[in-house]
Chains A and B, each alone.
Chain A
Amino acid sequence: MSENANITADPPEPEGFQRLGEDDMKDMGLDSPGTPGGSIAAQARAGDQPMAEAASDEAHGLPAGPGIAAEMPVEEATAVAEETPDHPVGETHDVKGPCPVLKEIDTTATQPEKGRALKNRREVHVICALVLVLALAGSAWIYFHRPHLFGLPHGGLPSTAEPADIQTPPDQASRSAASVTAPGMSWESRLQKVDVLRQVLLAKRAEIVRLRQSYQYGVLELEEEIARFIKRTGVDGLVQALKEKPVEFNLDSIQRRQAYADGLEKPLRWIDAAGEDLLYLQRRAFYDLQVRQAASGVGMDAHQREIDAALRNYQPTTANLAVGTAAALQPLEPMWKRLVEKSRQVVLTGAERRNQDIVDEICSGNLGRVPELSVLTLRSARCLAESQAKELFLNRLTDMPAAAGQKLVEWPGNWLCLNGFTRLAPETAQHLFAWSGDWISLNGIGELTADAARYLPAWRGRKLELMSLQKTNGIEYLAQWEASGGRLFVPAGIRQEIVAWRQSTRPVTPLRKGGA
C-alpha cells in the first residue's frame, strides 16, 4: 500500500488496547463469555458486573443488591466456617476471634465452590474496574489520536500540537520506522494545517476587503455631500469652500479615508502572496507525496522544512498585516476640481432641504419620516442599511444611484416598497435582486426590460409585486423565477403571457407529437 493511500485511509484499530483487554481476561483466568453449559455465575464473571452479582446472590440465596454485594465477604466467611463438617463443633466454639476461622477456610478448602465464588466476585470487581479504566483510557486515546471517529476533522489534534509532537513519543517513534502510517498522518496533518492557514488568511482578506469598501463608500458619501454643497451654494473655489468647516472636515475625511483604503493594499498584497506561496508549497509537496513510493530523490525533508517555515512566517500577525503608512494624502486641488465636476451632475429637488432633514433624522435613528424620503443619497442609503427596521416604504423615490442601491441592499429587512419607481434600470435591478429580503413591491413599473428582468431568476426572495406592469420582453425571466418558488403579483395580461410562455416551452410528449 502506498503511503499516499495511508494518508487518507482510516487509521487502524488501536491494537494495544484490544490486546490489553483480551490478555487481561486470560491472565485473570476468566472463561470465554457465554460458554455452553457453564454456570450462570461463570458466564456472568466473564460478562458484566451486575450479572455476576445477581448470579452470586442467586447461588447463595441472598437478595441481589449493591449493598449486599459489598458486605458479602465477611458474612460469607463466617457462614462457611460454621458449616465446615471436618471440624468438631467444640473446636469451633473454642475459637475466640474471627481470624482463625478465616484462616481455616483458606487452608481446608472444604467449601471450594463458595470460596471460589467469593474469590471470583473480588476478581470480577477488579476486572470490571480495570476494564472501566482501560475503556476510559482507550476512549481518551481515540479522542485525541483518531478524532474523526468522533466526527471531528481528520488530524484534528489540539491546535497547539506541533507536527513534531505527534511523532515524539518514544514508543511511537520506534514503531513509526516500520509503519508507513505515522509519517503519512504527519504529512496529512501538515498539509491540513496549510489549508487551515490559507482559509484563515482568505477570511482575513475578505474582512480587509470589506473594510476597504467601507472606507471607499465613506469617501463617495462625503464626495456626494460636497458636490451637493457646491450645487446648492454655488461655491466652487477651494479657498472659499474651506472657510466652511463642514466642507473642510469632509475634505479632510476624504483624504484620510482614501489613505486608509490605500494603506490596506499592503496587507492585502501580503495575504495574496502568502496564500499563493502556501498553495504552491502544498501542491508541490502533495505531488511528491504521490510519487515518493515510486521515485528516488524526492526531497520530502526539504518540503517539510519549507512548509514548516511558511506555517510560521505566514501567520496573520499584527506585524505581517501592518497597514502601509507610506500612502500620501491626496492633494486637495485636484480633488476639489473633481468634486466641482461631479456637482454638475447633481440634480437638486425642490424638497432638498426637507430631504436633508429626513436623512439627518434617519441617521440619528428616527425612521418615522422614511416614507417622505424623495432622494436616496449615499448617506441615507447607509443609514437605512444599518437600521433595524423590518419594512421600508420608500415610495417617494423614483430612482436610486447604483452605489446607493448597492448599499441599500445590505439592509437585513423583509419588505422593501419602491412603488415610486416607474422604470427599473438594469444596474438597479442587479442590486435589488441580490437583496436577501423576502418581498419587493415595484407597483409603479409599467415596463420591464429583459436586461433588467434577467437578474430576477437568481433572487431568493418570495414575493414580487409588479401590479402596474403592462409590457415586458423578459417574460421568461418572470416565469422562471415563479417556477422556482416565487410568488409573482402581476396584472391579468402579464399573467396570460406567462401562462402562454410556459405552455410553449412545455416538453412535447410522444402523444402530442403524434396528434400534431
Chain B
Amino acid sequence: MGVGGVVHVWVVGLSHETADVSIREAVSLDAGLVRQELSKLAAEGAKESAILSTCNRTEVYAVGATSDDALELARSFFHSRAGADVEPLLSRGLYAHQGEAAARHLFSVASGLRSLVLGEAQILGQVREAYRLAAECGAAGPVISHLFQQAVHVGKRVRSETGIGQGAVSVSYAAVELARKIFDDLSGKGILLIGAGKMAELALKNLADHASPRIWVANRTLAHAEELARTFGGEAVPFDRLEEQISVADIVIASTGARKPVLSQEMVQRATRKRRGRPLFIIDIAVPRDVEPGVHELDDVFLYNIDDLRAVVEANAAERRLHLPHAEAIVAAEAEEFGRWLRRRVADPMIRALREKFKSTADHEIERLLRRLPSLAENEREQVRALSHSIVGKLLHDATMALKLSAEQGRHEEVFRLVAEIFALDTGAPAEKRPAGQESDGKSEKGGASGSRLALFRPEEGTAS
C-alpha cells in the first residue's frame, strides 16, 4: 500500500471529429464485445475501466497503477482492435486526456457538446449504458463510478440550465414544434392529411405522438385513404370535400404526387372565412408543391414548405450554438470539482493507515481491559467497544479533513511524511520515489485545466502515437 493513492485515469478515444467512419467502424463495439474487452483490460492490469462506444465515437477509460499503465492500457485496446489496414491511421485519430481533462472531456460528451448534432440527448443514455456495462462486469470501481455518475449529472444539468438541447433539429420534428408554437396543446386538434408519403406519415406520427388529435385522410383514391385512415385511427375524406374539411381542421399536411397545386389560394380563402380567425397551419412537404404560395398571405394562415422547415432547423441549430459558452462553463466548473475529488483521493491510503493504527491500538487496549473485568455483561462490553471506536473516529476527524485538504491543495507530500513519521506508520512505500511522480501528475492536470478547448481535444502529442 502506498502513502499517496494517486489516481491515474486516462481516456483514449476517437470520434467523428478526429477520425472518419472507416476507422470508427473498425473499433466500434456492441454490448457483448464491450464486456469482453472490459474483462481483457482487467486481465491486463486495469484497476478500473469503462468503454463508451457509439457510432460516432469509441472511448476507453482506464484507471491504472501508474499513469503510464493507464494510458498504455487504454491505447493498446485501439491497436489490438484495429485491423492491419486501419492501424497506421490510428495515431492521427486518437486523442488522450488525463485526470481532470478526461473528466472534462466525458462531461462535454455527455452534455452533447461534442455530438454531431449539438446538444442531442441520445449520448446521455449511451454514457449511462457504458457505465451500466462497466458496473455489471465489475470494472467500475470508485473512480469510474464517480466519473460516470458525475457525467450523467452534468449532462442533465447542462440540458436543464441552458437551451443547448432545445429546438427541433429534424424537419419532421420542426413541424411539430411549429404546430405547438401556434396551438400550444395539440390534443383535440384536427389534422388533415392530404396524400401520403413517408415524410407525411412521419410528420403525422410525430404530431400524434404528443397528443391525441382527430385525424382525417384525403386521397385521390378513396380506398387508399381508407387504408391510411385505419392505420392512424382516423377518418377517410373524399377528395371533393377538401375545402369543407379545411374549414374545420387546424393542421393540414399536404404531400401528394400531383404536378399542380391541390390547394389554391381562393379555395383556402373560402375555407378560412368560416374559421373566424382560428389559426390554420399548413405543412406542404410535397415537391412539386401542393399548396399555392399565396395561401401564406391569408390572415391567420401559416404555410410552411419543406425548405421553410429546413430553415427552421437551421435557426434552431444556431440557437443551440448560442448556448455553447454557458454549457462549456458548467462543464469546466464540474470538471474542476472532479479534479479536486481526484486529488483528495490521494489521501485515502494514508487515512486508512492512520485509522487502522488507531483502531488496532484502541482495540488491543480495550480487550486487555475487558479481560480484567470479567463481571461485565456482553452488552456492556459491546458498549465499551463502541465507545472506543467513537473516540477514535472523533479524534481522527480533523486529521482526516486536514489530510484531504492537503492532498487537494497538492502539498500532501510533506504532510504525509510528517504524519507517517509521527505515528510511525508503516506505509511500505519507497518514500523518495513518490513525490516526483505526483509532481508531474499535478502539473499535467493543471495544464489541462487552463488549456484552451482546442488544445484539449487535439490529440496530445507523444501520447497517442
The answer to whether A binds B is: no
Binding site for A on B (CB under 8 A): none
Binding site for B on A (CB under 8 A): none
